[in-house]
Amino acid sequence: MLKDYYLEALEETQKSLQKGKQIWLTNASFLKEGNNSITLAFPSKMYLTNFNNFCKSELQSKIDSLTGSHIDIETIIGEADFSSVEEDDKTEVEEEEIQRKNSYLNPIYTFENFIPCENTNFAYNAAKAIAMNPGINYNPCLIYGGVGLGKTHLLQSVGNYIEKENPKKKVIYVTAETFTNDFINSLQQKNASSFRIKYRKADVLLIDDIHFLQEKISTQEELFHTFNDLYEANKQIIFTCDRPISELKGFTDRLKSRFTRGLNLNLTAPDYETRVAILKKKCEAQNVRIFDSVISYMAENIKTNVRDLEGSLTTLIAYSKLIKTNITLEIAQEQLKNLISAPMASEQDISISTIVKEVASYYNVEISEIKGKKRTAIIKDARNMAIYLTRKITQYSTTEIGNYFDRDHSTITHSIDKVDQERKQNSDIAAALDSLENTIKSKSK
């Protein structure tokens, strides 16, 4: 009977296991045996994982030597009476694992696979310094920059680093959208206090994409209080935003001032050398080889952001796997021709409506308002910005632009001059314009 061998092996293994690890074995339940196999049942995945990690190899060698042959130890979850098992008795390792699950971090975002360039080196090193000493210096921290430039990657790298090096610290990562939904749900279910407890027990709170909170005044209010509580308790807070804070509309001033209080880090598009390095690293990670000529071609032509670079690479890799061929420069040119076109051609392809749409979403106003007659400050700003960008990135004449926006020629030139002036005087506006221009160009491909 294999069961007898199993019981003997079990007893011996128990003795050799470290204290605290035995629980993973005592809660295994012998279910059945086959010719050369036994099946053990576990109360939950947690028990099974820990059994596999800490006990299985020991048990395996004991039972093999007792029987003189190899016995397969098969495992399943459930199917036995575990009513006496105490779920609360978790080891430290298990606690860590549970905490990791609760933080919603994606483990692929690490400092190791983030490649900084000259312009982003400071942001990269500062984020690392925060990860090493959360809540000490640089608190709060704001990371801002256009789409696809690595904000989420850097933010989550901080979280992943802390979870690994400092597992007792509770890291919470949320998008501003999830934060908002959580808040709304808590109001609907009339348990605002559980919402508060959840966020205020964070040692490190990472909130991604705060521009989402534009015009959401009650959520902003709640965030303001969360911020104050955590800040006073020296807990680390990091935000990301797709634009400079001064460009956020529909935000309370007091919250805006909290965002910018500590360290502000700006991410900008990577330079050519960094684009090459990023592509090479991504190839390495996926274990694919791509000719240098192809890498250079991509890095020369895809300048908008890292997400676009990655997207192009994915397209090429998928193609090469499908066709089972190496990627030559010709293949790359053919496959990416919709993404990459000569700059002039692509700029002419950008329609005014794309520009207006992006500007409207940036300012959180309706497209019809930009083209309409309303003269509130925010709509006027959005309109001027759309006119300016149209002139800058398309080949339309000011008269043609006037026709589109239903304004006379002098109004159009006035708008363009005004934004031009602002751009020179205010680096935040310059950054916002660059980021919008990048977004528009990348969406128009």
Q: List the Cα angle 412/247/385 in 5-degree steps.
A: 15
CB of 148 to ligand ADP, least distance (A): 5
**Contact (Cβ atoms closer than 8 angstroms) between residue 138 and residue 122:** no
For ligand ADP, the binding residues in 178-237 under the rule CB under 6 A are none
Q: Name beta bridge partners: 39.
A: 32, 74
Task: Indicate whether 115 belongs to the interface with ligand ADP (CB under 6 A).
Answer: yes
Residues 6+ positions from 21 with CB-CB distance below 8 Å: 50, 54, 55, 91
Write down the number of H helices and E strands in the chain.
22, 8
Q: Which does 115 bind (CB under 5 to 8 A by kind): ligand ADP, Mg ion, none?
A: ligand ADP
Considering beta carbons, is residue 270 or 402 the nearer one to Mg ion? 270
Q: Find, among 131, 148, 156, 280, the residue nearest to 207 by Cα.
A: 156
| Contact mark string toward ligand ADP, 259..278, x via CB under 6 A | -------------------x
Q: Which does 258 bind (CB under 5 to 8 A by kind): Mg ion, ligand ADP, none?
A: none
Considering beta carbons, is residue 306 or 352 the nearer one to ligand ADP? 306
Three-class SS state of 99: helix
Q: Which does 175 bind (CB under 5 to 8 A by kind): Mg ion, ligand ADP, none?
A: none
Query: Judged by CB under 6 A, which of 153, 275, 423, 441 binds ligand ADP?
Result: 153
Query: Judged by CB under 6 A, which of 10, 141, 255, 306 binds ligand ADP?
Result: 306
Count Cβ atoms below 10 Å from residue 152 Cβ, excluding itself: 18
Place of tokens 């994606």: 106
For Mg ion, the binding residues in 330-349 under the rule CB under 5 A are none
**Alpha-carbon distance 223 to 228, whole Å?**
8
Considering beta carbons, is residue 9 or 155 the nearer one to Mg ion? 155
Q: Find, among 399, 361, 365, 401, the residue nearest to 380 by Cα.
A: 365
Task: Indicate whether 128 belongs to the interface with ligand ADP (CB under 6 A).
Answer: no
Q: Which stretch binds ligand ADP (CB under 6 A): 66-74, 195-203, 305-313, 420-428?
A: 305-313
Q: Return the CA Rg of the chain.
A: 28
Query: Judged by CB under 5 A, which of 50, 120, 152, 415 binds Mg ion?
Result: 152
Task: Give the residues lining the site for Mg ion (CB under 5 A).
Answer: 151-152
Task: Give the residues lining the site for ligand ADP (CB under 6 A).
Answer: 113-115, 147-153, 278, 306-307, 310
